[in-house]
Amino acid sequence: MRDRFTIAHEFGHFVLHYLYRKQVLQEPIGELVAQRYGTNQAEKEANWFAAAFLMPEAEFRFEHQKCAGDHSELSRIFLVSTAASRVRAQSLGLEPR
């Protein structure tokens, strides 16, 4: 399950930091570099992208309510780690940080 989030994270880098910059902003593109544990803005954006991609807000809110916030169940439904489902719930204001 961690691999799915990692792949979605790297896909986020490609979409947000390569395609968007190249096509929308028409900026020159340098080398696309991936960092597994970075904490800079680009890494935060890629994490946000991965969470939204794997756990779309409307479906996540519905399932979170349906299973009363059981992260084992949410993890199974969305095929992510329990930590990822917990962070998603917190980021959507469904649970305290």
Threshold 0.85, pTM exceeds: no
For 55-79, the pLDDT digits (tens) are: 999 999 999 999 999 999 999 999 9
Q: Which whole number is the average pLDDT over 19-42?
A: 60
- Same domain, yes or no, for 48 and 82? no
- Same domain, yes or no, for 40 and 77? no
At 13, is the pLDDT very low, low, confident or very high (cuts 50, 70, 90)?
Answer: confident
- Same domain, yes or no, for 50 and 60? no
- Same domain, yes or no, for 69 and 79? yes
- Same domain, yes or no, for 31 and 65? no
Query: CA–CA distance from 50 to each of 13, 19, 26, 46, 66 (Å)?
Result: 9, 16, 24, 6, 23
Spatial separation of the C-alpha atoms in residues 61 and 5, rounded to whole Å = 19
- Same domain, yes or no, for 1 and 38? yes
| Residue 81 structural domain | 56-97
- Same domain, yes or no, for 76 and 38? no
> What is the count of structural domains for the chain?
2
Q: Of the segments 2-6, 29-33, 44-48, 50-54, which one has the largest average pLDDT value?
A: 50-54
